[in-house]
Structure 1
Amino acid sequence: MRLATAALFVGLAMVATGSQKEELCAPEAVNVTDADFCKGLEVFYPEVGNIGCMVVPSCNSYRQKITLWPQPIVKFPKASEGTDMQKGAIQGQELTAYQPPTPPPHSGFHRYQFSVYLQEGKAISLLPEENAARGFWKMDQFLSRFHLSEPEASTQFMTQNYEDSPDAHVPIRGSSKPKDKLKMSGFALLVCVHLAHHL
């Protein structure tokens, strides 16, 4: 009986320890100023869930893993039209392919912003130079060209290069070192923008 009780206690201790570890490894909310940008969009990545309006945690090597994950599922739960947008099955013409967040080392935290604009039947396209290199793509000029004003919904998350994180030297199976390039992604109705932010 004592052996069974001891085994049960060890099992409960392992479960309790595991749940405490998971609680410690969770995204934290962005600061109040950055939270003002978060209005109605959710961004889901595997393992961490919805990181809209959050800082990607360094634990569990999430800042390295996010550079390898496929594009997130972006949901607009309060969409007045289209259940696809509510569920994250956003449809439409893709202007540029998704590229994961890869902030350069020693550049601080970077914001990755997602915005949904009402297209109102306007055809959206990129200029040849915008297609050639993302460095030529300017958000304010894009919005002005297509007369897009305030987004219907928006959110952002923040991350930094995994090498700048406390657990930077934990290896990931099957991973490769990310390239040191800034990335942006854009969609016809959903626009994702990357901004650098030094803390």
Structure 2
Amino acid sequence: MLSGGDSFFCRGDLEVIYPELGDVGCSYIPKCHQYRERISREWGSPRVRYPQADKNKKYVLMLVDPDAPSRANPRSRFWRHWLVTDIPGANLRTGDVKGHVLTGSWAMETFVKQFRLGSPVASTQFLTKHHQD
């Protein structure tokens, strides 16, 4: 489990589920069994579930890297891996995420402000590389 500053984003019981690993939210991904490589090259997007989602609302889901390209030099902070909008709460509760996938360059803070998204209802993070740098 992540602790200290690394656990800053861990709130709201958001589940990020990968094959063989289960929920990696607020976790450090181990090197064993090539998990780190498999996350980025083999498994693709994880299953994301938020059991507390309001069935009558729509949600925005972002997967960003807060310290890209590395923890020592995060010059591309909040690098966007993917962004899905208009996800029905009922689907997010079950992990059946369907919505509009957006692409293009971006600044996360500007996007949140422009679309008046407010504060996150849940967030998590996990580390795959550079755990100690």
Same fold at TM > 0.5: yes
Q: What are structure 2's unaligned runs of at least 5 residues?
A: 56-88
CA distance in 1, matches of 2:22, 2:94: 14
In structure 2, the residue matched to 1:58 is 31
TM-score, normalization by structure 2: 0.66
TM-score, normalization by structure 1: 0.45
In structure 2, the residue matched to 1:38 is 10
In percent, how many aligned pairs have the same letter? 41
Matches of residues 134-173 of structure 1 in structure 2 within 5 Å?
Answer: 134=105, 137-160=106-129
Aligned residue for 1:153, secondary structure, equals: coil
The structure carrying a bigger helix percent of its residues is 1
- Please give the per-residue CA displacement for 1:53-108, whole angstroms capped at 9, x wherever unaligned: 11111011111111221210000011122331111112211113xxxxxxxxxxxx
Aligned residue for 2:100, secondary structure, equals: coil
Query: How many residues are paired up?
Result: 98
The structure carrying a bigger strand percent of its residues is 2
Aligned residue for 2:125, secondary structure, equals: strand
State the Cα distance separating 1:198 from its structure 2 match: 6.8
State the Cα distance separating 1:33 from its structure 2 match: 2.5
Matches of residues 157-196 of structure 1 in structure 2 within 5 Å?
Answer: 157-160=126-129
State the Cα distance separating 1:152 from its structure 2 match: 1.2
CA distance in 1, matches of 2:95, 2:117: 22
- Aligned CA-pair RMSD: 1.9
In structure 2, the residue matched to 1:76 is 50
Aligned residue for 1:147, secondary structure, equals: coil
1:92 to 87, 94, 99: 99
In structure 1, the residue matched to 2:58 is none
CA distance in 2, matches of 1:85, 1:42: 10
State the Cα distance separating 1:48 from its structure 2 match: 0.9
Aligned residue for 2:48, secondary structure, equals: strand
CA distance in 2, matches of 1:152, 1:89: 18
CA distance in 1, matches of 2:7, 2:94: 23
Aligned residue for 1:44, secondary structure, equals: strand
Q: What are structure 1's unaligned runs of at least 5 residues?
A: 1-28, 97-130, 162-196
CA distance in 2, matches of 1:149, 1:35: 21
1:140–1:51 distance in 2 versus 1, CA, 3 Å:
same
